[in-house]
Structure 1
Amino acid sequence: MKIAFASTDNIHVNDHFGWCKCFYLYEIKDDTFTFLKALFSPNEIVEEGDKLSYKIQCLEDANIVCASHIGPRASLMVKSSGIFVLKTEKEDEPIETLLNTLIALKNSNPPLWMQRFLHAPTTS
């Protein structure tokens, strides 16, 4: 299960999906998580639909995207691309905390949206 975080520092989820210049991709396997790579999305695109499509393309093979803020149109477009959207409850939520929460959820009673990614064939 791969999660892309909208972050300015790769420590906290502290960026808006549409304004994010770099997403940080992590993978959860078993009871651990691993940082995979930075997914850069620096292009400044004026037209909203094109900008959102570009951001989604930058997410590569992420199953989940987590941002501090995401608009309704962006959320719909991301979901339509097959990526699950998570929005943080607190400002500057630590990425590590969220990853550990997802691991605990996976190991207890994973919701249907998570089960879809847990039982999907892996691309790596």
Structure 2
Amino acid sequence: MKVAFASTDKVHIDEHFGRAEEFYIWNIGPEEAEFTGVIQVTEEGGDAADRIEARGAALDECALVYVGEIGGPAAARLVAKKIHPLKSKTKEPITEVVEKLQEVLKGTPPPWLRKAMLKGTH
């Protein structure tokens, strides 16, 4: 499953979704995880709705996106695209979150995560 991380330093989840210019993409499964690249979001003008839409379109293949902060309207638009936003309250290192997510995937993931894992398989 593809997971995006919003970061200002490539290490910690610390960027607001609406301000993020880069998302770091990982392909994560229960047994292995790999960094697969960076999605850059460029915006020429536009309002907040345009910025949200541009980011949602860029992250279309991702099942989860971890952010430092995200507004309610942006979160709702992502959920409508079947992308689950998750806030990191403590600016966690991306690698630690990847490891925790793998542990959850090895066990019995909660229903919302099982559903997210199916994204892109149909």
Q: TM-score by structure 2 length?
A: 0.91
| Other-structure match for 2:16 | 16
Contact 2:63-2:117 within 8 A present in 1 as well: no
| Other-structure match for 1:108 | 107
Higher strand share: 1
What's the CA shift for 1:14?
Answer: 1.0
Instruction: Specify the code of the residue in structure 2 equivalent to 1:63.
Output: A
The one-character-per-residue Cα deviations of 1:8-50 (angstroms, maximum 9, x if unpaired) are 1221111000000100100112322100110001315341111
Contact 1:44-1:51 within 8 A present in 2 as well: no
The one-character-per-residue Cα deviations of 1:52-111 (angstroms, maximum 9, x if unpaired) are 101111113111011010001100011111101111121x21000101111111112201
| Other-structure match for 2:72 | 72
What's the CA shift for 1:121?
Answer: 5.1
Specify every segment of 5 or more residues in structure 1 that has no aligned partner in the other structure, as ranges: none
What is the CA–CA distance in structure 1 between the aligned matches of 2:117 and 2:79, rounded to whole Å? 17
Tell me how many residue pairs correspond in the alignment.
122
Contact 2:29-2:105 within 8 A present in 1 as well: no
Contact 2:82-2:116 within 8 A present in 1 as well: no
What is the CA–CA distance in structure 2 between the aligned matches of 1:21 and 1:63, rounded to whole Å? 19
Once superposed, what is the RMSD of the aligned Cα atoms? 1.6
* Percent identity (aligned): 28
Contact 1:2-1:28 within 8 A present in 2 as well: yes
Specify every segment of 5 or more residues in structure 2 that has no aligned partner in the other structure, as ranges: none
What is the CA–CA distance in structure 2 between the aligned matches of 1:58 and 1:110, rounded to whole Å? 26
